[in-house]
Amino acid sequence: MSNNISKATNKYLRLSTHKARRVLEQIKGKTYNEAMLILQFMPYRACKAITKILKSALHNIQNNKAQIEINKNQLIIKQAFANQGPTLKRFRPRAQGRAFPIRKPTCHITIEVETIKI
């Protein structure tokens, strides 16, 4: 059934893994056009980064198969996941010489798409 598979990854995004997964669960298994429509109207900050990664996956599959015209309705999101990246650690000065840690999480987002012949 499957014809072509391509993936795109963005690493070290200054975004929580939990918040990225919340958005990725909504687009997993959808077509490219459906996913772009969903991402356009979701109110989360992660949507902008995920949209860029999804467009990159589309361009990757078009570049790999230059002789084939890709129909965006036949492009399915096969996998979409977010892994935890390194955490940036900062310190906030507090009273009496103390310091409280601030953790700034990062994540790695990978989206894999494939074309399906109908």
Q: Is the dihedral of CA 23, 28, 32, 34 positive or negative?
A: negative
Q: What is the pLDDT of residue 74?
A: 87
Q: What is the pLDDT of residue 71?
A: 83
Number of domains in the chain: 1
CA–CA dist 79, 36 (Å, integer): 15
Provide the domain limits for residue 102: 2-116
Q: What is the pLDDT of residue 3?
A: 64
CA–CA dist 34, 27 (Å, integer): 8
Q: For residue 30, give the CATH number of its domain.
A: 3.90.470.10
Tens of pLDDT, residue by residue over 69-100, are 778 888 999 999 999 999 999 999 999 999 99
Q: Does residue 107 have a pLDDT over 90? A: yes
Candidates 83, 77, 80; CA nearest to 5 is 77
Tens of pLDDT, residue by residue over 1-58, are 446 889 999 999 999 999 999 999 999 999 999 999 999 999 999 999 999 999 999 9
> DSSP for 46-105?
HHHHHHHHHHHHHHHHHHHTTTSPPPGGGEEEEEEEEEE-PPEEEEEE-GGG-EEEEEE-
